[in-house]
Structure formats: structure tokens, C-alpha cells
Amino acid sequence: MYKRIITALLLLALPCSALAISENDYADQYQSKVLPFYDNGSFSQFTGSGDVLLRYAAFERDNETGALVILHGKSESYIKYAEVAYDLQELGLSCYLMDARGFGFSERITQDDPQKVYVDHFDDYVEDLKIFIDTVVKAKPHSRIFFLTHSLGGLIAARYLEKYPGDITAAVLSSPMVQMDTGSFPPAVAYAVADLATALGRGTDYAIGQGQRPYPYFYSDTVTHSYARWWKWEKDLIPANPEITSYGVTYGWVKRSMEAGALARRKAGAIETPLLVLQAEEDFFVRPEGLDMLCDRADDCTKVFCFGSRHEIFQEADMIRDVALANIKSFLWKFID
């Protein structure tokens, strides 16, 4: 069972995040506050399932209250979440961020085009995360471990929680990709096309309408209302780190992600870990029915409806993002105090 919270009603009641920087003078504040925090982290690598090389960032603290594992979405990197880790410092958590296989600074799976989004088996993501937690995160003893995830990261986390109950104290899933929106293609048709193409040996080909990252224009963007945060990612972080660029999905990735989403929804009753699910009102990438099914079946799930938000809640305008951060902190504090 879950309770729905309409964030519009909480907007005046919840204070702005103490550490969050504003869209006003965003570039200067990012440079003077977020960047020094990020540069003080440690950056390394580990070997995931099948000997794939995976990169990660760690921001460890003395006298910590626990550990927070942050998982990014499709075609992203841990570097995009520097601001989020900075914002949550008051929780006293050590933060660990990893780039999933095929994304960010981690090793690519396809060799012909580094921008292709592909995975051989969806469980590769899950097993990589298990190795990361067991060998990197737990290398330092923690009293508790939390998840903070976005989109694809939320689906990976859901499958992890179903397979490895007891590992994680509580989890925040923002716009989790437990049921992707396939646009003009009905889900059954999209899956059938991806399944057939994969069976015909075209699993690593771009899916219909997919390709390399186009030149970014904000007016056509559908993931956030915040120009400042959109600009930081599209016009600064990616150009400064071109090796992190990825974009279009392949038939094989669509097939395996849709299968993983169906499995996550079906087995959600196995999730004993308390969940906070953030649902964006204007989301064209994940379907709300999937979030409802996940929350209905999970043992302990609270769903917050983020009024006015697009898919990337963590990259949204201050008014939306501050409310989401306040809900996240309130949720996590319950397990820290």
C-alpha cells in the first residue's frame, strides 16, 4: 500500500533546501560551491560482471550517518549528480556514485559506436551494482545504506531490491523506468519489433527513430523546465567530457529493458525495503501505471506526485526541485534519527 502526496499542497509548508543552489546566478554558484565539493571526491574504477571496467566517484565522510548510493538514468553519468550529492550533505551520508556499463566514464559494450545504448543482459546492471556495493561501498563499514536513483537507475534498483532483500535500508526512486513510455508505438508492438530485430541479429542496431546525440536545443527538450541545469549538462559537462556521450537506444536494449520492467512490476511484492517514489507530472519517458503497480505491490511505498515536473526531477526548476529534495530528506531522516 502507498499514500499519495500532492506536492503542490506542500510547497508553502516545506522550507527550501539549506544547501541547494539557485537557478539565479547558477553558473557562478556551481563553480564556487558544487565544483569544489566534487573535486574533493575520490575517483576510481572496479571490474563488473564479465570483466567490464566501471568507473565511480566516492565522497566519504568521517563520523558519517550511513552511505548513499546514487544511480543515474539512461545516457547519463555520475558527474551529472554532483549537485545532488552536494545538496544532501546535511544528511551526513557518504555518497557513492557509479557509471553503469555503457554509460559515462565506464566501458562501452558495443565497439562500433560509443553512443549506442546496449546491454547483453539486463541483470548485468544489477550484478554490477551488487559488486559495487560489496567491494567498494562496503569496503568502509556503514551503519545503513540507501539508494537514490533516477529513471533507468530506478529500474536497476527495483530489480536489486527484489533479488537482494536486506541489503538496503531505504530507497528513493525518481521517475523509475519500471514501464517505459514507447510513444506512438503501443508497448506490445514496440516489444515485438525489438524482439524480432534482436532475434534477426540486429540487437546492437539503433531502434527506429534512434541515433547519435543531436545538437541540443532547449526549446525541444522534454526533460526539465530549468534552462540553467539543462545548459550545465548539455553545453558544459558533455562538451568538457566528450567520452561520456551516449544517446540512442538499440533494439536489444529496448527488449531487455522492457522485460526487466515487466519483471520488476510482477515481483514488486518481494521488495521489503521502504520506498519513496517520485512521480513527475509531465513525464513522457515512463508510464504512471507502472509506478502505481510497483507501489501497490511493494511492502512499504510512499509515492510523491511532483506537480509541474518533467522527467528529470533532480534537474528541474528550483520551485519543483526544492520540494522534491525536502521530501527526500524528510524520508531519509526517518532512518537516520
pLDDT at residue number 222: 84
Q: Using CA atoms, how far apart are residues 30 and 24, in angstroms rounded to an integer?
A: 11
The model's confidence at residue 17, banded by pLDDT at 50, 70 and 90, is: low
**Number of structural domains in the chain:** 1
The single residue listed with the C-alpha cell 548539455 is 234
Residue-wise pLDDT for 101-119, tens only, equals: 999 999 999 999 999 999 9
- Beta-strand pair 145-150/66-71: parallel
Cell of 16: 527550501
Q: What is the CATH number of the domain that holds 71?
A: 3.40.50.1820
- The residues facing 301 across adjacent strands are 275
Residue-wise pLDDT for 123-181, tens only, equals: 999 999 999 999 999 999 999 999 999 999 999 999 999 999 999 999 999 999 999 99
Residue-wise pLDDT for 197-245, tens only, equals: 999 999 999 999 999 999 999 987 789 999 999 999 999 999 999 999 9
Domain that holds residue 166: 4-336
pLDDT at residue number 19: 80
The model's confidence at residue 13, banded by pLDDT at 50, 70 and 90, is: very low
Residue 188, CA distances (Å) to 87, 205, 258 in order: 40, 20, 10
Residue-wise pLDDT for 185-208, tens only, equals: 999 999 999 999 999 999 999 999
Sequence-distant (6+) residues with CB within 8 A of 168 are: 145, 146, 147, 160, 161, 273
Q: How big is the CA angle at 86 (ends 85 and 89), to the nearest 5 degrees?
A: 90
Which SS3 state, helix, strand or coil, does residue 336 take? helix
